[in-house]
Amino acid sequence: MNRSPSAPGKFREACLTCDKFATDATFLPELQTQLARTNQLITERRATFEARTGHLMTEDNIWLAGRHQERDALGRIILTLRHTRLADGTVQAIRGAGVKARTEAITGKEDNN
Q: Is residue 79 part of a domain?
A: yes
Give the 3-state secondary structure of residue 111: coil
**How far is it, in rounded angstroms, from Cα 79 to Cα 81?**
5
Identify whether 66 is part of a domain.
yes
The Cα-based distances of 75 to 13, 32, 79, 98 in angstroms read 18, 9, 6, 8
In this structure, is residue 2 part of a structural domain?
no
Q: What is the per-residue pLDDT for 83?
A: 81
| 111 is a domain residue | no
| Predicted pLDDT at 84 | 78
pLDDT of residue 93: 82
- Within-domain flag for 109: no
Give the range of the structural domain holding residue 56, as residue numbers without chain letter: 9-102
- CB neighbourhood size of 17 (10 A): 24
pLDDT digits (tens, 9 = 90+) for 54-85: 999 999 999 999 899 899 999 999 998 888 77
Instruction: Please tell me the total count of domains within the chain.
Output: 1
pLDDT in tens, the chain (113 residues): 444 555 555 554 468 888 888 888 888 899 999 999 999 999 999 999 999 999 999 999 999 998 998 999 999 999 988 887 767 777 778 777 777 777 665 556 555 54
